[in-house]
Amino acid sequence: MALSLAFACPACGGAVEGEVGATTAAMRCPACQHDTPLPELAGLVASRRADVCPVCGSTDLYQQRDFRRSVGLALVAVGVLTGPFTRWISTAVFVGLDALLYLVVPPVAVCYACEAQQRGFDRKAGPRPFDIAVHDVYRFGKRFPPRRDLAVAGPRARLLLQEGKESPS
Ligand SMILES: [Zn+2]
Ligand SMILES: [Zn+2]
């Protein structure tokens, strides 16, 4: 599985997304044509560990199941369709589904600082699950990624936006 990357463009905030390879040095924003350099990418393609964010340089990442596509929606539909009469059956089915989904739904690695997403890495070698304590460290500005100015998305950016201290670039 090829490695792919999705992140917020540091210049305009738009979505930049696509497959990357060992020779990818930067990705271009389709909206504003800004090139975002990705210095750690070659190492990530080689290691498949998703242990560093190639956008902001942070080494704090977490992994979760990638429900962004239709699987999550299909599950919701199943839940709506099963009434109380079949609840015990559907519970058993859901337990089975959950175990199955763990096997078939690929993981996504997310950067705590800027929320850049990596897909296609090795699940077993990838980062740990989400930890609210690490999230808060970034949210309240107690830790910053090496390339702080490139982390335009993420918990810190949202907090500043809420407080009106900084306008979105
Ligand atoms: Zn852009
Ligand atoms: Zn990042």
Are 8 and 51 found together in one domain? Answer: yes
Residue 117 Cα distances to 4, 7, 17, 84, 146, angstroms: 8, 6, 9, 38, 17
7 found inside a domain: yes
Structure-block tokens of residue 22: 């060992």
Are 47 and 113 found together in one domain? Answer: yes
Distance 160 CA to ligand 2 centre (A): 17
Distance 125 CA to ligand 1 centre (A): 31
Are 29 and 73 found together in one domain? Answer: no
Span 130-154, average pLDDT = 95
Are 58 and 129 found together in one domain? Answer: yes
User: Residue 103: which pLDDT band, with cuts at 50, 70 and 90?
Assistant: confident
Are 32 and 57 found together in one domain? Answer: yes
Are 89 and 19 found together in one domain? Answer: no
26 found inside a domain: yes
169 found inside a domain: no
pLDDT for residue 70:
46
130 found inside a domain: yes
Are 114 and 133 found together in one domain? Answer: yes
Ligand nearest to the CA of 59: 2
Q: Are the C-beta atoms of residues 118 and 154 closer than 8 Å to each other?
A: no
Distance 31 CA to ligand 1 centre (A): 5
Span 64-83, average pLDDT = 60
| Containing structural domain, residue 92 | 67-105
Distance 35 CA to ligand 1 centre (A): 8
pLDDT for residue 81:
56
Q: Which residue has the tokens 């560093």?
A: 52
Are 38 and 13 found together in one domain? Answer: yes
Dihedral over Cα of 101, 107, 111, 116: its sign: negative
Summarize pLDDT for 55-71 with one digit per residue, the tens: 999 999 999 988 765 45
User: Residue 1: which pLDDT band, with cuts at 50, 70 and 90?
Assistant: confident
The answer, yes or no, to whether residue 137 has pLDDT greater than 90, is yes
150 or 80: which leads in pLDDT: 150
37 found inside a domain: yes
pLDDT for residue 164:
82
Summarize pLDDT for 18-50 with one digit per residue, the tens: 999 989 999 999 999 999 999 999 999 999 999
Span 141-149, average pLDDT = 96
Distance 76 CA to ligand 2 centre (A): 30
User: Total structural domains in the chain?
Assistant: 2
Ligand nearest to the CA of 12: 1
Are 51 and 18 found together in one domain? Answer: yes
Ligand nearest to the CA of 148: 2
pLDDT for residue 94:
67
Distance 164 CA to ligand 1 centre (A): 22
Are 60 and 115 found together in one domain? Answer: yes
pTM over 0.85: no
Span 128-149, average pLDDT = 96
Are 29 and 61 found together in one domain? Answer: yes
Residue 12 Cα distances to 5, 100, 109, 129, 168, angstroms: 17, 39, 23, 30, 9
